[in-house]
Amino acid sequence: MFSTETYIRRRQQLIHNIDSKGILLFLTNKESPINFEHNCYPFRQDSSFLYYFGIKAPEIYVVLDLDSNETILFGDEASIDDIIWTGKLETLKEKAHKSGIQKTVPKKEIFDYVEKVIKQDRTVHYLPPYQAYNKILLSQLIQKPISQLQPSIPFIKAVVSQRSVKEKQEIEDIEKALAVTVEMHKLAMLATQPGMKEYEIINVMRHYAEDHGCTFAYPPIVTKHGEILHNLHSHHLLSLGDMVLNDSGCETDKGYAADLTRTYPVANKFTPVQRDIYSIVHAAIQSASSMLAPQTKFRDVHLRSVTTLMEGLKDLGIVRGNVEDAVESNAFTLFFQCGTGHMMGLDVHDMEDLGEQYVGYIDEEPKDTKTFGWKSLRLAKKLNTGNVLTVEPGIYFIPTLIDMWTAERKHAEFINYNQLEKYKDFGGIRIEDNYVITEDGYRTLGPHLFQSIDEIENYRDANLS
């Protein structure tokens, strides 16, 4: 946990930012069974709860009363039956005191408390529930069907506004995650050999992360099929001529994440074709990240990214015609189907549970939820000092998508399908780093991780020879 003062200050700021009455209801996550009740997945606390309270305990609830300024924690202390199995642990009251909460009451009293609030015609503000357990609980608490649950927009916006600007201590924790993640990636580059399976690389990284007190922030994507954006199948055999896309990051014990991607050959050297495609993606991340600054719209960063990608593909004869017109027509989505980046912090896709419209967009410029490619852009609004985000351009040759567009001759004025056929089975490349927006621009977070072709080849040559 951070200091007690940190959590008190954060909650005071939240209350100050919400121009409303009633109560703010915070729910924690529940331990989720894998295959029977007492065999559970590793517990991960809700990130907004972590931010405002720092307590890692399941099935507790906190109410912030906006009218009386009272804070109440609803939860139960461990019984003797619990202690037999777990040993004597820190009490809930002790955890509450570390968070600056003085009043704790039994968990069951939450029902009478919320019922009383509703009878007083006061508003129960809550955030969008994503665990099925909490959807059912909220339905019972406010006595409405799950289909009629309506999370509080003022509550969501206040949390997003506050969590989007990272404190110095938060950035320090993100950089701790990055320090471990960088070493994970370097080990992965050294471990990669022809004849091994992708999951063996994952195992090397997991071992290092856990030896340094961290866990994976998300299921790692380590694959020779980089064209599959979220490929979690890691059973493929690696061969000379393959490339490995490694999208992985760890999180600290406080929950702060890192998110890095590197793509490199199984061989010690890039082939000429690999060099060509990699150089385009490398130019895109350099060009896009150079734009990062306060008041810059990330939508423009995305456009710079895709324009650079299309210019590079034109140099290879895959794209033709006017690049600006090709970008305007969305022809780039054949090669880059997702967004150039997203917010990052306590969640690797920070606050995604609160809704991308509120995290990455503003009311006046809403998210496009229908257009192919653009509907996957998680962040578009103006950046502000203290934002932490990723920049992650890529080129993905997806055979099924290429076949579909080829049959339709879609955007044929911009795409040379005869030349593209030569690259259809190439795979995909992504490069990703993490950044914080500063008052005068940006800073790349964490230790340097090899990004250029020469750096990657020199590192592998020096350590694998």
In sequence order, what are the beta bridge partners of 221? 247
- Provide the pLDDT for residue 78: 86
Other CB atoms within a 10 A radius of the CB of residue 76 amount to 15
Is the separation of the CB atoms in 30 and 59 below 8 Å?
yes
Q: Which of these, 64, 134, 142, 56, lies nearest to 103 by C-alpha position?
A: 64
Percentage of residues in the chain with pLDDT exceeding 90? 94
CA distance 104 to 106: 7
Is pLDDT at 463 greater than 70 in this prediction?
A: yes
Is pLDDT at 105 greater than 70 in this prediction?
A: yes
Percentage of residues in the chain with pLDDT exceeding 70? 100
Is the separation of the CB atoms in 430 and 336 below 8 Å?
no
CA distance 18 to 449: 41
DSSP string of 207-258, one letter each residue = HHHHHTT-EESS--EEES-TTSTT-----PBP-TT-EEEEEE-EE-TT--B-
What tokens were used for 172? Answer: 């320090």
Q: Which of these, 18, 366, 29, lies nearest to 161 by C-alpha position?
A: 18
pLDDT in tens, 119-151: 999 999 999 999 999 999 999 999 999 999 999
CA distance 393 to 376: 13
pLDDT in tens, 286-336: 999 999 999 999 999 999 999 999 999 999 999 999 999 999 999 999 999
Q: Which of these, 428, 433, 459, 460, lies nearest to 447 by C-alpha position?
A: 433
CA distance 348 to 360: 14
What is the tally of helices (H) and strands (E) in the chain?
16, 17
Is pLDDT at 465 greater than 70 in this prediction?
A: no
85 or 43, greater pLDDT: 43
CA distance 107 to 111: 9
pLDDT averaged over every residue in the chain: 96
Is pLDDT at 245 greater than 90 in this prediction?
A: yes
DSSP string of 322-389, one letter each residue = -HHHHHHTTGGGGT--S-S--B-SSSSSTTGGG-HHHHH-BTTB----SSTTGGG----SB--TT-EE
Q: What is the mean pLDDT of the segment spanning 18-29? A: 94
Is pLDDT at 280 greater than 70 in this prediction?
A: yes
Is pLDDT at 61 greater than 80 in this prediction?
A: yes
- Integer-rounded Cα Rg, in Å, for the chain is 24
Q: Residue 19: enclosing H or E segment and its boundaries?
A: none
CA distance 454 to 60: 52
Q: What is the mean pLDDT of the segment spanning 43-71? A: 96
Q: What is the mean pLDDT of the segment spanning 41-65? A: 96
Q: How many CA atoms, within 13 angstroms, populate the side-chain half-sphere of residue 345?
A: 25
Q: Which of these, 400, 442, 401, 397, lies nearest to 420 by C-alpha position?
A: 397
CA distance 161 to 381: 13
Q: Which of these, 273, 228, 276, 185, lies nearest to 428 by C-alpha position?
A: 228
Other CB atoms within a 10 A radius of the CB of residue 327 amount to 20
Is pLDDT at 88 greater than 90 in this prediction?
A: no
Report how far apart, in Å, the C-alpha atoms of 11 and of each of 44, 52, 54, 272, 440 are. 21, 6, 12, 55, 29
Report how far apart, in Å, the C-alpha atoms of 455 and of each of 428, 450, 451, 452 are. 20, 5, 7, 5
DSSP secondary structure letter of residue 120 = T
Confidence band, pLDDT 50/70/90 cuts, at residue 283: very high
- Provide the pLDDT for residue 176: 98
Is the separation of the CB atoms in 235 and 196 below 8 Å?
no
Label residues 438-456 b or e (16+ Cβ within 10 Å = b): eeeebebbbeebbbebeeb
Q: Interior CA angle at 428 toward 425 and 432, to 5°?
A: 175
Is pLDDT at 74 greater than 80 in this prediction?
A: yes
- Provide the pLDDT for residue 20: 85
Q: What is the mean pLDDT of the segment spanning 212-234? A: 94
